[in-house]
């Protein structure tokens, strides 16, 4: 049961253009969403996050949009740069009264930025 889905395994974008990565989720209890970037042989690097009380969060070239009614979020990267080429994971967590908040990951999208 894949609670977080990234339906595009790969995405190719021209340098300087906008990259849009999409993520859907099914669990309505999720209230915190994160995007991680991962290079081969390295751990996921935190990029940007958004709380369920917001619909947009921006940090430099990265913007995350959340549509709760559609259970959909997207990561926009503009302008895209060659160094952005990596696998991007969408992750979600649900607040717990006790205990740590485990992350549920999507399958990842491999982004390639072409010069």
Partner 1 sequence: AAGVIQSPRHLIKEKRETATLKCYPIPRHDTVYWYQQGPGQDPQFLISFYEKMQSDKGSIPDRFSAQQFSDYHSELNMSSLELGDSALYFCASSLRTGSPQETQYFGPGTRLLVL
Does residue 36 interact with partner 1 by CB under 8 A? yes
Does residue 108 interact with partner 1 by CB under 8 A? yes
DSSP 46-82: EEEEEETT-SEEEETTEEEEEETTTTEEEEEESS--G
Does residue 99 interact with partner 1 by CB under 8 A? yes
- Site size toward partner 1 (CB under 8 A) is 28
Does residue 31 interact with partner 1 by CB under 8 A? yes
Provide φ and ψ at 95, rounded to 5°. Answer: -65, 135
Question: Taking the complex as a whole, how short is the minimal distance between the CB of residue 96 and partner 1, in angstroms?
Answer: 8
Does residue 106 interact with partner 1 by CB under 8 A? yes
Provide φ and ψ at 70, rounded to 5°. Answer: -95, -5
Q: How far apart are CA 84 and CA 82, in angstroms?
A: 5
Closer Cβ to partner 1, 21 or 80, answer by number = 21
Question: Taking the complex as a whole, how short is the minimal distance between the CB of residue 111 and partner 1, in angstroms?
Answer: 16
Provide φ and ψ at 91, rounded to 5°. Answer: -140, 155
Q: Which residues bind partner 1 (CB under 8 A)?
A: 31-32, 34, 36, 41-46, 49, 51-52, 89, 93, 95-96, 98-108
């Amino acid at each position: 049961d894949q609670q977080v889905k990234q339906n595009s395994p790969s995405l190719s974008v021209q340098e300087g253009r906008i990259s849009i990565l999409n993520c859907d989720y099914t669990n309505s209890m999720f209230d915190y969403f994160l995007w991680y970037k991962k290079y081969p042989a390295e751990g996921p690097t935190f990029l940007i996050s958004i709380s369920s009380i917001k619909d947009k969060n921006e940090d430099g070239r990265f913007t995350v949009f959340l549509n709760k009614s559609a259970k959909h979020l997207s990561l926009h990267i503009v302008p895209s740069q060659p160094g952005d080429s990596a696998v991007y994971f969408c992750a979600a967590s649900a607040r717990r009264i006790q205990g740590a908040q485990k992350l549920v990951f999507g399958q990842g999208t491999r982004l390639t930025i072409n010069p």
